[in-house]
A and B are shown apart, each in its own frame.
Chain A
Amino acid sequence: MIALIAFKEKIRRKVFFAVFALAALITLIFSTGAATVTINGESVTDYKILMPTMLTVMNAASCAMAVALSLNTIPKEYERHTNQLIFIRGVSQSRYRIQLAIANITASLVSHAIFFSGLAVYIITSKNPSELLWAVPSYMYSGIGIVIVSLCTTCLSIVFSEMAAGVISVVIMLIGVFYPMIELLKGIAGGLSGKIFKALLFVLPNLHGIQSAAGCLITEHTFDLHIMFVALFYVYLFALGIILFRRKED
């Protein structure tokens, strides 16, 4: 019930309308051929190249939305003292946080589904309807990445202020989405910065890897079990954080 009410409140937020607008815009750009990838000066309109590109854009947008939707749920509850009326009814703090995290995850996945519906439109308009069926497991696979971002943001919002949690979440999300680029930087940079990049890559989730594996499900119909298990391990870790971290009453 707590999760349901928190979810209903989330989907009424103005940020949710931005999801529809952004999804429609990305779909329009890719479906009408307005988006082109240029290789060696030649414009590429091939489905096999454009589809993963669209998936990357959609996933990055979904991750950003997951941060926006998950960031202020817990701080707002404490600020408005709505938590007090829950706690005095015998609901434990950890159970309450889990319920709010579920609301965050559900809202983030719904937003991800809206973005993914744009991808489905692109698959149909690019005359590859047979791959539409693969979009479903691909959505579920890439959804793990969205769950990670949502859980991570929720975890941080328990411990830090809204602003600090937002900044850290965005940094984690960007490193995750641009994981290969950080790997490249790690290779280039030496000394302390190289070690920092190495540590970041070791600790933070590879959101790009999850999204690539989800893309391969549609384009190559292959399933990467290893990346999925690593992603699920991050889900487990952040879920543990939701239970263990505590926020003090003002």
Chain B
Amino acid sequence: MLECKNLIKTYKTKTAVNDLSFCVNEGEVFALLGSNGAGKTTTIKIILGLIKANSGTVHIRDGVRIGYSPDTPYFPPFLTGYETMEYYAAVGKIPITQRKSQITSLLEIVGLSADKIKVKDYSKGMLQRLAFAQALLGNPELLILDEPTAGLDALGRIEIIKLIGELKESGKTVILNSHILSDIEQVCDRGIIMNKGVQLGIWEKNADNAGQSLQEHFVELIGGADE
């Protein structure tokens, strides 16, 4: 579904992404793993076309619709969740006839009701769920989720992870950017481990991984890279 080849992105003197290559298959949940400053968000921005790589290519299968949930979602505070969804539906040119049913069902999926609560009164968890819902507008085949569980409490995290699992079951392809290893281990099929813009290794859920858990594998790679 998506292939990145030899991506390089530099900011003045800092190399944010250095020769990154990976592919994401249809229907899988793919993880971009790494600590803060690993280059995960930069990679996502390149995939989304928000920034240009200095070199390398991103190939996305023709006609694939993409949904995106940012790491720190911000929505106009004076709108309700429903109105926010309506806004993004209008920007995304979703036909008016489909909007109401789609928005209502998406809000229901993420556990938000179409009530009169303004976004300014939303909790962090509710904001993340709304970000999730707007990403699902237009029924995208590829979902890119940037730190969807960041800042959430245990219950909120469980809910989001459960949601990602449900999306996978419904056949969506998901790219999940996170540094929370337990979340990744729970929901992802494969992923790459990054540190300071460099791809250190690949992790696969059902592979042998030399008998190591993801945490052990991650610590070994990151520790080895930092030495």
A residues with a Cβ closer than 8 A to B are 1-2, 5, 8-9, 12, 80-82, 84-91, 248-249
B51 / chain A contacts, CB cutoff of 8 Å? 248-249
A85:B76 contact, CB within 8 angstroms: no
Q: How far is the CA of A91 from the CA of B79 in the complex (A)?
A: 21
| Contacting pair A5 B87 (CB below 8 A) | yes
- Which B residues are CB-close (under 8 A) to A2? 91
Q: A146 to B91, alpha carbons, bound, how many Å?
A: 28
Q: Are A91 and B91 in contact (CB under 8 A)?
A: yes
Q: Are B70 and A84 in contact (CB under 8 A)?
A: yes
Cβ of B48 and Cβ of A84 under 8 Å apart?
Answer: yes
Whether the pair B50, A249 counts as a contact (CB closer than 8 A) is: yes
How far is the CB of A200 from the nearest CB of chain B, in Å?
A: 34
A-B contact pairs, 20 of them (CB 8 A): A1-B87, A1-B91, A5-B79, A8-B76, A9-B76, A84-B48, A84-B50, A85-B134, A86-B91, A87-B48, A87-B49, A87-B50, A88-B48, A88-B66, A89-B91, A89-B92, A89-B93, A90-B92, A248-B51, A249-B50
The secondary-structure label for the interface of chain B is: loop
Q: A5 touches which one: B50, B70, B76, B93 (CB < 8 A)? A: B76
Whether A12 touches B68, Cβ cut-off 8 Å, given contacts A84-B48, A86-B91, A89-B92, is no
- Interchain nearest-CB distance for B96 vs A (Å): 12
Q: How far is the CA of A9 from the CA of B48 in the complex (A)?
A: 27
Contact call B68/A88, Cβ cutoff below 8 A: yes
Q: Are A249 and B45 in contact (CB under 8 A)?
A: yes
* Minimum CB distance partner of B50 in chain A: A249
Known: A9-B78, A80-B74, A249-B45. A89 touches B88 (CB 8 A): yes
Interface string of B72-91 (1 = CB under 8 A from A): 10111011000000011011
> What is the CB-to-nearest-CB distance from A177 to chain B, in angstroms, rounded to a whole number?
33
B-chain residues with CB within 8 Å of residue A5 when the two chains form the complex:
76, 79, 87
Residue of B nearest to A99 (CB): B91
A68 to chain B, nearest CB (A): 20
Given A87-B49, A88-B48, A88-B66, A81:B91 Cβ within 8 A: no
* B55-77 with Cβ < 8 A to chain A: 66, 68, 70, 72, 74-76
